[in-house]
A and B are shown apart, each in its own frame.
Chain A
Amino acid sequence: MSTDTMEQVVVFKLGDQDYALDIMAVKEIIRMEKITKIPAAPDFIEGIISLRGSVIPIIDLSKRFGISGYDYIDNSDDAAVNSNKRIIVLQVKETVFGIIVDAVQEVMSIPENSLEPPPEVVSGTSFAGVQIDIAYLKGIAKVNDRLIILIDHNRILYGHETEELQQMAM
């Protein structure tokens, strides 16, 4: 029965909005650390960090998704906010990478029937109070009056900027 199927997700905050990622894609969650910037990299690549001996890229989700009016750097003066910041380390196929989030909330099981497909709107349309590129969404879940945006982890690396990345690899 489809009502029984649950999706386990990690819920996190970017700004004031709740987002979630499939827990199977999450490798680990680490504290914020100093990120080494890479010159000439696309702007959504925040830089690299070392994760136990290997170098992994860190992606700024807000830039990646075109979430406007939000920059994680802006809050950097606020110590309370900063201490909640985390890097969620994901593995998609062979690639390990991290995303910066403002806070990790909880692990939650979302019943599949409470998941709605993303609204059929043009990308960039204001939605749930923030601007986000619809292409990265898997759906929206309504859990106890909270709206949680489910992100498609497969799209984070190679969204529709595949060409840009290929150029970088040249």
Chain B
Amino acid sequence: MFSDVEISVFMDELEEKLQIINDNLLILEQDVNNQEVLQEIFRAAHTIKGSSGIMGYEKMTKLTHEIENLFDKIRSGKITVTSEMINVLFEALDVLKMLKDEITDPSLNVDISDVLSKLSSYFKSDSSESIEKAYDQAPLKQDSEQEKKSENIEVDDALAEVISEAELRGFTAYKIKVDLDEGCQMKEVRAFLIFETLQKSGEIVKSVPSAEDLQDGKFDLSFEVVYLTKEDQDQIKNMLMSIAEVENVQVSAISLQESETKREDSDDLKADKERSTDERETKSAKASATPAKEKTSKSAAASSAHAVKPVKTVRVDVQKLDNLMNLVGELVIERTRLNRFVELFESKYGSDELIESLSEMSNHLGYVAGELQEQIMKARMLPISQIFNRFPRMVRDTAQKLGKEIDFIVEGKETELDRNVIEMIGDPLIHLIRNAIDHGIETPEERVKKGKPRKGKLLLKASYHESHIVIIIEDDGKGIDVQKIREKAVERGLYDRETVERMSDKEVLDLIFRSGFSTKDEVSDLSGRGVGMDVVRTAIEQINGVVEVHSEINVGTRFTIRLPLTLAIIRSLMISLGDQIYAFPMANVQETLRVSEDEIKSIGNSEVIVVRDKIVPLLRLKEHFGIVDNTHEDADLSKELFVVIITSMDKCAAVVVDKLLGEQEVVIKSLGDYLGDIDGLSGATILGDGSVALIIDARGLVKQTKGVESREIEMAGVQYAS
């Protein structure tokens, strides 16, 4: 059986290939004659077929075999692509995805007969050949192609480049010729084993016949590979000879000078021959990228084909990175202590050489620790393409269902952010994109009538902006009618007419994020949006993000989501209560004020203050938290209080604190399982002096502004204001 590692490598590869098919199908739909795209899909399907065959996933092999056949026909021009066919292909892709899930959850028991018959119906119309024949032909054709090629590997430019680069890294390139035993039963398995063995201590950059063919068993008893390794000749030989049914192994080093001359020689050869070599090279490079079950060979192949530097990756448990992060945190704290000692020494003994160099060391240590922290932070990041890649298909499906035509543009896929943020941001984005298609972009007819291009434009863009990631979702649809929202707000009893009219357009637009304001059927009809927008905002706030909306009638709507780069660090407003320090996440801080005691009014049992005509419930945090203050302070009515206005989910609260200490970036630490979640706190952070400050959970705190419901306060506010 295959080990977990092998299965996970297979799954990774499968994931990647499915994504390739997905992306290319989308392109194919726009441009049915794009040969390159056809090739890509064909190749991806072929790879899945090969590797799933080895792993023994029959259904997957069968299905990809059909897809491959179909594309073979399309490639050769025997069948033309129809939009119906694309739909079937997407269906097949979905089934493939299900099959993939079936690997981890065998209880799914996916049925492929339906989609298989749909796929094969395209062949039946093409009566000249049966499916089987088509399948038989493919290897035949390839075999004959192979025969044309010379058996010896030749070193061309692309390969030479890979080799020379590898040599710089201390690798040596070898040409290895492997002969299998004549009685060998499963030569493809042997080939696979040989590949695996080799890849344990080096990289296979090229093979003849291609790795693809080798895995399908489309070769005689021998094959050749170009192999980069740090091992020496004998070791390679011993390694390979230890595999059963290997008859003979020849290993020879490739030196580039030699191959240079060889190339010059080959230059003299006919252009015809040259072209075929090149063709084969690209083919085998791409081929070796696919079935070889090892990321390294993939990147190596990519480099030979496109001369891109290979990216080497290692999978690391996030826990390990977290531990590293903690250790760096300790380092930073120790460094702060060291710094204090330097200061102490300085004040005690004055400045002398020893102290100077101590201070220098401390500074350098601080610099290194800072760098280390940043690098580890970066190691935790993933490109946003992880989720962005899901969207083109979704946009296509949604648009098709709603009869809209949409040009979906994705920018900044490579933007990296913390994996936790990536996990959280997916759903809100889906929501916003669906909304844009459903309610933003008009039908083609409507658009033409308005003088806009038939196709609506939908832009999804991620970019860095200072220490934030900004994600923009922008459509050129009908926009949001602010006036209608105003009416709706009055109708729903959220505000009276006067208040609503006084609100700025921006404030009114913000209303769509209010819970209770939006219910699907009612609001989407009139404003065009509002399907669970409060859910979107809540999800984004949970990861300390901010979402804003900007809209112009008939021009379009833009949602801007601002996210922190990481969840581990937040910008906070530091305040003190008694002798303890607390941190308010800046995302929730609206403003800070000074109010005197006599500005505090009471409504019912609750204290409130008026901030620019708005009534805000007041929360005396010290009393709320039951903090006994040892630093006696008398309740002087004329004394001014520091108030922090915090907002969360369109509710505000004014929090009375003792002192404002300033802004700071803090690393969030959990309070641990034992303490669990404590009302009003979201965690703790360690300050520069090693002491601990608690981080306020604004959401919880706003919810706790007890007594008057905020709705009631608003109503009261209206009365108060009028």
| CB within 8 Å of A: which B630-685 residues | 669-681, 684
Q: Could you say which of B326, B626, B672, B677 contacts A56, with CB atoms under 8 Å apart?
A: B672
Give the segment of B79-87, B359-367, B520-528, B689-697 that binds chain A. B689-697
B326 & A54 in contact (Cβ 8 Å cutoff): yes
A53 & B326 in contact (Cβ 8 Å cutoff): yes
Q: Could you say which of A40, A53, A169 contacts B327, with CB atoms under 8 Å apart?
A: A53
Min CB distance B332 to A, Å, is: 9
| CB within 8 Å of B: which A103-131 residues | none
Q: Could you say which of A36, A39, A95, A170 contacts B692, with CB atoms under 8 Å apart?
A: A36
A38 & B675 in contact (Cβ 8 Å cutoff): yes
B674 & A36 in contact (Cβ 8 Å cutoff): no
B694 & A95 in contact (Cβ 8 Å cutoff): no
A97 & B674 in contact (Cβ 8 Å cutoff): yes
Nearest residue in A to B622 (C-beta to C-beta)? A39
- Judged by a CB distance under 8 angstroms, whether B333 is at the interface is yes
A38-73 vs B: 1/0 string, CB under 8 Å?
A: 111100010111101111110000000000000000
A54 & B669 in contact (Cβ 8 Å cutoff): yes
**B368 partner residues in chain A, CB cutoff 8 A:** none
- Judged by a CB distance under 8 angstroms, whether A37 is at the interface is yes
Q: Could you say which of B330, B625, B675, B676 contacts A48, with CB atoms under 8 Å apart?
A: B675
- Judged by a CB distance under 8 angstroms, whether B624 is at the interface is yes
- Judged by a CB distance under 8 angstroms, whether B389 is at the interface is no
The CA-CA distance from A57 to B691 in the complex, in Å, is 13
- With A34-B691, A54-B326 in contact, is A48–B677 under 8 Å at CB? no
- With A36-B694, A55-B692 in contact, is A157–B674 under 8 Å at CB? yes
Nearest residue in B to A39 (C-beta to C-beta)? B625
Nearest residue in B to A42 (C-beta to C-beta)? B675
B313-336 vs A: 1/0 string, CB under 8 Å?
A: 000000000000011011001000
Q: Could you say which of A52, A55, A170 contacts B330, with CB atoms under 8 Å apart?
A: A52
A169 & B676 in contact (Cβ 8 Å cutoff): yes
A50 & B691 in contact (Cβ 8 Å cutoff): yes
| CB within 8 Å of B: which A156-170 residues | 157, 165, 168-170
Residues of B in contact, count (CB < 8 Å):
30
Q: Could you say which of B327, B670, B675 contacts A168, with CB atoms under 8 Å apart?
A: B675
- With A37-B627, A55-B669, A55-B670 in contact, is A50–B675 under 8 Å at CB? no
B674 & A55 in contact (Cβ 8 Å cutoff): no
Nearest residue in A to B693 (C-beta to C-beta)? A36
**A49 partner residues in chain B, CB cutoff 8 A:** 692
The CA-CA distance from A92 to B692 in the complex, in Å, is 23
Report the contact-size class of chain A (Cβ under 8 Å from the partner): 20 to 34
Could you say which of B673, B674, B676, B690 has the most chain A C-beta atoms within 10 Å of its C-beta? B674
**A165 partner residues in chain B, CB cutoff 8 A:** 674, 676
B691 & A36 in contact (Cβ 8 Å cutoff): yes
B451-490 vs A: 1/0 string, CB under 8 Å?
A: 0000000000000000000000000000000000000000
A37 & B580 in contact (Cβ 8 Å cutoff): yes
- With A34-B691, A39-B680, A53-B326 in contact, is A45–B669 under 8 Å at CB? no
Q: Could you say which of A39, A47, A55 contacts B626, with CB atoms under 8 Å apart?
A: A39
- With A50-B686, A54-B669, A55-B670 in contact, is A41–B675 under 8 Å at CB? yes
**B326 partner residues in chain A, CB cutoff 8 A:** 52-54
Nearest residue in B to A37 (C-beta to C-beta)? B580
The CA-CA distance from A97 to B676 in the complex, in Å, is 13
B676 & A168 in contact (Cβ 8 Å cutoff): yes
- With A39-B626, A39-B680, A55-B684 in contact, is A95–B673 under 8 Å at CB? yes
Min CB distance A1 to B, Å, is: 39
Min CB distance A76 to B, Å, is: 11
- Judged by a CB distance under 8 angstroms, whether A94 is at the interface is yes
Min CB distance B234 to A, Å, is: 49
Min CB distance A48 to B, Å, is: 5
Nearest residue in B to A95 (C-beta to C-beta)? B674
Q: Could you say which of B327, B669, B670, B681 contacts A38, with CB atoms under 8 Å apart?
A: B681
A169 & B627 in contact (Cβ 8 Å cutoff): no
- Judged by a CB distance under 8 angstroms, whether A4 is at the interface is no
Nearest residue in A to B687 (C-beta to C-beta)? A50
**A94 partner residues in chain B, CB cutoff 8 A:** 673
- With A39-B625, A41-B678, A53-B326 in contact, is A95–B691 under 8 Å at CB? no
| CB within 8 Å of A: which B169-226 residues | none
B678 & A38 in contact (Cβ 8 Å cutoff): yes
**B676 partner residues in chain A, CB cutoff 8 A:** 165, 168-170
Min CB distance A49 to B, Å, is: 6
Min CB distance B220 to A, Å, is: 59
The CA-CA distance from A165 to B691 in the complex, in Å, is 25
- Judged by a CB distance under 8 angstroms, whether A33 is at the interface is yes
Min CB distance B341 to A, Å, is: 16
**A97 partner residues in chain B, CB cutoff 8 A:** 674
**A57 partner residues in chain B, CB cutoff 8 A:** 671-672, 674-675
The CA-CA distance from A49 to B626 in the complex, in Å, is 20
Nearest residue in B to A169 (C-beta to C-beta)? B676
The CA-CA distance from A53 to B323 in the complex, in Å, is 10
The CA-CA distance from A41 to B680 in the complex, in Å, is 11
| CB within 8 Å of A: which B598-625 residues | 624-625
Could you say which of B675, B679, B680, B686 has the most chain A C-beta atoms within 10 Å of its C-beta? B675
**A55 partner residues in chain B, CB cutoff 8 A:** 669-672, 684, 686, 692
The CA-CA distance from A53 to B667 in the complex, in Å, is 10
The CA-CA distance from A170 to B681 in the complex, in Å, is 13
The CA-CA distance from A165 to B674 in the complex, in Å, is 8
Q: Could you say which of A47, A52, A53, A170 contacts B677, with CB atoms under 8 Å apart?
A: A170
Min CB distance B522 to A, Å, is: 34
Q: Could you say which of B330, B670, B677 contacts A169, with CB atoms under 8 Å apart?
A: B677
**B675 partner residues in chain A, CB cutoff 8 A:** 38, 41, 45, 48, 57, 168
The CA-CA distance from A161 to B327 in the complex, in Å, is 34
A53 & B329 in contact (Cβ 8 Å cutoff): yes
**B624 partner residues in chain A, CB cutoff 8 A:** 39
Q: Could you say which of A37, A39, A48, A53 contacts B671, with CB atoms under 8 Å apart?
A: A48
Could you say which of A34, A38, A49, A97 has the most chain B C-beta atoms within 10 Å of its C-beta? A38
A131-168 vs B: 1/0 string, CB under 8 Å?
A: 00000000000000000000000000100000001001
Nearest residue in B to A50 (C-beta to C-beta)? B686
The CA-CA distance from A30 to B678 in the complex, in Å, is 26
**A48 partner residues in chain B, CB cutoff 8 A:** 671, 675, 684, 692
**B684 partner residues in chain A, CB cutoff 8 A:** 36, 48, 50, 55
Min CB distance A17 to B, Å, is: 26
Min CB distance A41 to B, Å, is: 6
The CA-CA distance from A158 to B440 in the complex, in Å, is 55
**B673 partner residues in chain A, CB cutoff 8 A:** 94-95
**A53 partner residues in chain B, CB cutoff 8 A:** 326-327, 329-330, 333, 669, 686
**B327 partner residues in chain A, CB cutoff 8 A:** 53
B627 & A95 in contact (Cβ 8 Å cutoff): no
**B671 partner residues in chain A, CB cutoff 8 A:** 38, 48, 55, 57
Considering the complex of A and B, which 6 residue pairs feature the smallest CB-CB distances, nearest first? Answer: A169-B676, A39-B625, A53-B326, A53-B329, A36-B692, A53-B330
Residues on A close to B: CB < 8 A? 33-34, 36-41, 45, 47-50, 52-57, 94-95, 97, 157, 165, 168-170
Residues on B close to A: CB < 8 A? 326-327, 329-330, 333, 580, 624-627, 669-681, 684, 686, 690-694
Give 22 CB contacts A-B under 8 Å: A33-B690, A37-B580, A37-B627, A38-B671, A38-B678, A38-B681, A39-B625, A39-B627, A39-B681, A40-B679, A41-B675, A47-B692, A48-B692, A53-B686, A55-B669, A55-B672, A55-B684, A57-B671, A97-B674, A165-B674, A168-B676, A169-B677
